[in-house]
Amino acid sequence: MECQEENQIEKEYSFVFDTKIISYLFKLLVSGVLAGAVIVFFGYLLDLLFSKTLCNGSSEPMMCQFRKDYSINISLIAVMITSIICLTKLKIKRASFVGILAVILLWSFGLKLGLNDLFSSYAYLSYALMTALLFMLFGWLFRMRNFVVASILSILALVVIKIVTFL
């Protein structure tokens, strides 16, 4: 009888050290780090392309001034589409919501950090870390069975993060 009670208590509190949850979060962490690094690399390649096409002297100077923003945002959209596909293959629950909420929060991330050099180690590190943290946060929230509660908590987290990063 006492042994059954101990097993029940272990089952109730074993969610903290459950290997399935740890492997789930590790998948989100690795895919987030890779996605963040690819965003910066692809953004750098697009910046090279845009610097040749938009800054050749015949186009408007405003287009040349915002080429880094254009390149990182196009890169962000392209990489997140492929990341959603990869997260789905990794059996991450509600991967599309994880990707969409990460895009919303990463949209002006480079502007807020003042990343002038897209190919710097700081840009790689910051985008990789931020993407990994966002994937883990929203992946964790969308593991809930109740979609409405998960959506409300995710939108609340999105608003709080946007307010904190706005300050």
The per-residue pLDDT for range 56-81, each reduced to its tens digit, is: 766 666 777 777 778 888 888 999 99
Contact predicate 72/39, CB 8 Å = yes
Both tokens of 60, joined, read: 């408007």
Percent of the chain's residues with pLDDT above 70: 77
Most confident by average pLDDT, 49-63, 90-104, 116-130: 90-104
- CA–centroid distance for 37 within its chain: 11
| CA 122 – CA 35 distance, rounded (Å) | 15
What is the pTM assigned to this prediction? 0.77
Residue partners of 72: CB distance under 8 A and separation at least 6: 39, 40, 43, 46, 47, 110, 115, 118
